[in-house]
Amino acid sequence: MNLRQLEYLIAIAEDGSFRAAAHRLHVAAPSISQQIRLLELEVGGPLLERLPRGARLTSAGRAFLPEARSALLAAQRAQRAGRAALALELAEIEIATVLSLAVGLLPAAIQRMTEAHPGMSVRLHEFPHREVLEDALDAGIADVAIGPMPQPSRHGPAVFLGYESFVVIVGRRHRAFASPAPIRLDSLANDGWILFPVTHGLHGVVVAICASAGFAPRDAVRTAQVEAAARLAAAGVGVAIVPANIVPSDLAEHVRVTDPPIFRKLGAYTRVEFSPQADALIAALRASTWVEPPPGAFILQ
């Protein structure tokens, strides 16, 4: 079994035929067919069902495909990591993160990292939920994940970066706009809320925060865009809870801290060990401005 055979199988599964895969990979179709037969002999059974007008995976092929993709991605990363160890300045880093951090925390950290290593290139993979992020990392999509701290049961190294704070956004006509004082969440129980789709990681965060104050939020609008949620709330459509680091500077007058203040732990984690590129990113993230929770703060788990 070799990487080329895995590449051929993945291409056939994606393109639906030997001919289309051969065209994409710039090889002869008989060569692909021969390599797949050798792979099937080694596996011990057919991975593809040959059809009059194409090919499709057998049940064994469907079970084999995710591991083949992971192995091929791992080999590609191994090649990049080896090169990176020799020349970090010419390295590439693939970062997996949740949507809100891609907007708020990461841009400044990536800027610091690329200024320190001008030749480094970055690929950013954004996911709506922490669980999807962890699954993607395990599948080999990225070198490092940046997000809420993973569960203690998770395998692989993880480092704590700091605390992310959450704030309330209110419109000019909201009763809380007149005072800069912290807002008790239970005072917002009867307001309409800017919420996120249930598949979005911040949906569960906002619901948990409101539950801690004894109510379930009533939605006025739902959006998957975190900055859009802040702008809708500032426009008076409803109230919103968002990470403080995503709030645009022009909305500063609409921001209110909560009583008690709300924080969650953020970290970096990977599968086996941090690459030199990941270490450079972690160093840049640790240079960010982090706020320590005061006594009595509500810490999201």
pLDDT of amino acid 275:
86
d(CA 202, CA 262): 13
pLDDT of amino acid 84:
60
Beta strand segments in 92-139, E: 92-98, 121-127
Out of 3.40.50.1010, 1.10.3720.10, 3.90.79.10, 3.40.190.10, select the CATH number for domain 164-263.
3.40.190.10
pLDDT of amino acid 226:
93
- Per-residue b or e along 62-90, where b marks 16 or more CB atoms closer than 10 Å to that residue's CB: eebbeebbeebeeeebeebbeebeeebee
- Enumerate residue ranges in the chain where pLDDT < 70: 81, 83-90
Residue 179 DSSP symbol: -
CATH architecture of 3-71: Orthogonal Bundle (1.10)
pTM of the model: 0.69
Query: What pLDDT, in 10s, does the model give residues 239-267?
Result: 999 999 999 999 999 999 999 999 999 99
Which own/partner contact pairs does 48-53 have at CB distance under 8 Å and 24+ positions apart?
Answer: 48/9, 48/12, 48/13, 53/17
d(CA 19, CA 15): 9
d(CA 159, CA 146): 10
d(CA 300, CA 160): 14
For the chain, residues classed under CATH 3.40.190.10 are: 164-263
